Structure 1
Amino acid sequence: MKTVLIIAGSDPGAGAGLQQDLKAATLLGTYGLTVVTALTVQNSQGVRAVQPVAPELTAAQLEAVLNDFPVYAIKIGMLATAANVRVVAATLREFLRGGPGKTSKPPVVLDPVLAAGQGELLLEEEGVAVLKDELFPLTYLLTPNVPEAARLTGMRIETPACLEKAARCLQALGPQWVLAKGGHLPGAPVDVLTDGKNAYHLENPRLAAPHHHGSGCLLATALASQLANGLSVPEAVNKARALVLQALRHGLPLGQGVGPVNTSAPFARELARYGVLQALDAAAARLVKEDLSPLIPEAMSNLGYAVCYPEGPQDVAAFPGRILKTPAGLLIPAGPAFGASPLLAAVILTAMETFPNLRSAMNIRYFEDIERLAPQLHLRAVGFNRTEAPADAQASEEETLAWGIATVMKNLPAWEPPPDLVYDPGGWGKEPMIYILGETPLQVVEKALAWKNAIAVARRH
């Protein structure tokens, strides 16, 4: 297993610093070695205090690790003091010269941590100059954000063009590559990657991302891990940026302030795929056994289930041949598959934007008595009128359904739980439909069975 030496501060909330770095390194298949440079007192609401580690202790940690373990990449984050910058630079300078039994020149990824997200200084003023003079020449890849690039260059950075100029300026101070992160700029985020000769503007969508603590640490460690595994800088940058984008999109609302990025999101999503298919198979078997034929609409039904942290319809599984009504009962021609139902995917993904646990849905036949019968089963039913959808939401059935579900969720009072049933009375050429929502396919099926029984009783009376 390839190793990554992580030199950084400690974050007791584990959203950034060594704790975030270790999570990222492990998930990317490398083994994290650590040198602690500072103890911070912080939580999701900010940094309260910083206790730097004495430079002698920093040096001793470095010596202990470097003299024993192979090192394939080095990630440097918070150093806190000029003295720590000097001792790290001196130790690495000697180590990077190589020698018998030493790994040859592992790449150094330097995340120039100067301040916390809310402005608290994490590197004393003297340390900034020492960082540039002594660590930049040893750096393979530098990863400043806009405020860091501005402070390191003295430049005013307001556009991607300004960011490129700053990145080139920083690259001239010693780093072989600079990845300048443009998330602080207005508009769509643009990162700039340069080796001094060429510069590449890398765009990303702008995310709301209220929980973004540790995104810089994650990026730098992901880069170091990918480089340790033998990727080129452009390849490592593409993979690391994709990981950070997903970690930001699925940030964790932990604490009372800014929560951490969700480093495990893409890995948890992949692990969940087999379980999703198994859950759908089990629910389908119950549907067939109980024969839900009376609930099947003319367009037939389907049952869908999303993995955790989905990125799109490709992460929602359903039955490719739908759930069919036959004279002999229900028929499900094929097993579940991902991407099989764009319509149910639109329903589920939109519901998950408000209620992330609502990962399953099934469409059934519409019944006029829904508002009267639902409360008797302790089910909450809410409807939408597709004729009220704006023109851009009527371009496709998927967009209309997404608009309808979003409208329902938006109009719910903040204190109310999610609906169990969302009904669509239909429109010209569109069959009316009910969508059953739930956390799992079996929960959806149980609601469907209760609804079937209620309909049967209502018809007898």
Structure 2
Amino acid sequence: METVLTIAGSDPSGGAGIQQDLKVITAHGCYGATVITALTSQNTLGVQSSMSVPPDVVASQLHAVLSDLHLSAIKIGMIPDKAVAQVIVEALKEVQVPIIYDPVMISTSGYQLMSSDAINYIAEQLFPLCTLVTPNLPEAERLKDQLEHPCTAFLVKGGHAQSTQMTDRLIMSDGTVSEFTTEKIASSNLHGTGCTLSSAIASNMALGNSLPKAISQAKDFITAAIRRSADISIGHGNGPLQV
């Protein structure tokens, strides 16, 4: 069984972060390991608070996993601050597996999940270690300098665009661009879509698929999840995806 490590924050309502990542990894027939970077208080209505895990504790978790488990892929989600980012970069410098990073900066409800001083450090030090970075359109705007001169592949997600279709653009480090277009399904249950997509890509790469194939399969997976979840009622706000 292939093992996928998720390095991310915790969502107690289960719709995003570590909890959603584990569901997606398991749904792909892989084994999920976790390193928790932050403890959030959130639900379908939004993020109420967030507490960073101390860097030495993040480092200890990373050492525990990397020294024992044979990993096939890594997914990274919420990195709350520069200190935690530095620990992650140091731990992953010699890791030779696909690394998929979903740069979670601001929650859908507008809560800032990453400190400002972390963004430039991550762009300079973590991006080059990654196989793929998956920003949404607002995050891509913040990272436009990196997108103009990509040091790795970027999948710019089009979910925020006003359109009847959703087109994600894969920008490779050599500048070549591919597009992945799927129908846009009307739903109020979209909590955790970024976590779901990035975890699905990581899982598909762990199973031996190329990056374009892994993205295509992950897109099919999340489209099916959105369609399946459209009429489900969990919580009082932006409900989670059922994977």
Where on the TM-score scale, by shorter chain, does this alignment land: which range? over 0.9
Q: Which amino acid aligns with 1:182?
A: G
Matches within 5 A, 1:119-134: 119-134=110-125
1:173: how far off? 3.9
Alignment check: 8 A CA contact 1:139 1:174 kept: no
**3-state SS of the aligned residue for 2:47?**
strand
Task: Return the alpha-carbon distance in structure 2 between the equivalents of residues 202 and 69 of structure 1.
Answer: 33
1:250: how far off? 2.1
What do the CA deviations read for 1:245-303 (whole angstroms, capped 9, x no partner)? 1111122320011100111xxxxxxxxxxxxxxxxxxxxxxxxxxxxxxxxxxxxxxxx
**3-state SS of the aligned residue for 2:143?**
helix
1:194: how far off? 2.3
- The alignment's TM-score, normalised by the length of structure 1, stands at 0.51
Q: Alignment length, in residue pairs?
A: 239
**3-state SS of the aligned residue for 1:117?**
coil
Segments of 4+ in structure 1 off by > 6 A? none
1:180: how far off? 0.8
1:198: how far off? 2.0
Q: Which residue number corresponds to residue 131 of structure 2? A: 140
Matches within 5 A, 1:259-274: 259-263=239-243
Alignment check: 8 A CA contact 1:137 1:173 kept: no
Matches within 5 A, 1:255-294: 255-263=235-243
Task: Return the alpha-carbon distance in structure 2 between the equivalents of residues 151 and 253 of structure 1.
Answer: 33
Task: Return the alpha-carbon distance in structure 1 between the equivalents of residues 121 and 225 of structure 2.
Answer: 32
* Larger Rg over CA atoms: 1
What do the CA deviations read for 1:11-36 (whole angstroms, capped 9, x no partner)? 00110000000000011011111000
Task: Return the alpha-carbon distance in structure 2 between the equivalents of residues 75 and 219 of structure 1.
Answer: 10
Q: Which residue number corresponds to residue 76 of structure 1? A: 76
In terms of fraction of residues, the more strand-rich structure is: 2
Q: Which amino acid aligns with 1:152?
A: L
Task: Return the alpha-carbon distance in structure 1 between the equivalents of residues 43 and 212 of structure 2.
Answer: 34
Task: Return the alpha-carbon distance in structure 2 between the equivalents of residues 77 and 202 of structure 1.
Answer: 22
What do the CA deviations read for 1:382-418 (whole angstroms, capped 9, x no partner)? xxxxxxxxxxxxxxxxxxxxxxxxxxxxxxxxxxxxx
1:151: how far off? 1.2
Task: Return the alpha-carbon distance in structure 2 between the equivalents of residues 106 and 246 of structure 1.
Answer: 27
Between 1 and 2, higher relative CO (CA 8 Å, sep ≥ 6) is seen in 2
Confirm or deny that 1:254 pairs with 2:230.
no
Matches within 5 A, 1:19-418: 19-93=19-93, 95-96=94-95, 105-153=96-144, 168-169=147-148, 172-175=149-152, 177-187=153-163, 188-195=165-172, 196-251=174-229, 252-263=232-243
Q: Which amino acid aligns with 2:45?
A: Q
In terms of fraction of residues, the more helix-rich structure is: 1
Task: Return the alpha-carbon distance in structure 2 between the equivalents of residues 231 and 3 of structure 1.
Answer: 15
The runs of 5 or more residues in structure 1 that have no matched partner are 97-104, 155-165, 264-461
Alignment check: 8 A CA contact 2:180 2:216 kept: no
Task: Return the alpha-carbon distance in structure 2 between the equivalents of residues 205 and 250 of structure 1.
Answer: 14
What do the CA deviations read for 1:224-254 (whole angstroms, capped 9, x no partner)? 0000110011110111001111111122320
1:209: how far off? 1.5
1:197: how far off? 3.6
Q: Which amino acid aligns with 1:211?
A: N
What do the CA deviations read for 1:344-397 (whole angstroms, capped 9, x no partner)? xxxxxxxxxxxxxxxxxxxxxxxxxxxxxxxxxxxxxxxxxxxxxxxxxxxxxx
**3-state SS of the aligned residue for 2:179?**
strand
1:219: how far off? 0.4
**3-state SS of the aligned residue for 2:48?**
strand
Task: Return the alpha-carbon distance in structure 2 between the equivalents of residues 17 and 29 of structure 1.
Answer: 19
**3-state SS of the aligned residue for 1:259?**
coil
Alignment check: 8 A CA contact 1:179 1:194 kept: yes
Cα RMSD for the two superposed structures: 1.2
Q: Which amino acid aligns with 1:72?
A: S
Task: Return the alpha-carbon distance in structure 2 between the equivalents of residues 174 and 63 of structure 1.
Answer: 27
Task: Return the alpha-carbon distance in structure 2 between the equivalents of residues 244 and 142 of structure 1.
Answer: 17
The runs of 5 or more residues in structure 2 that have no matched partner are none
Alignment check: 8 A CA contact 1:78 1:114 kept: yes
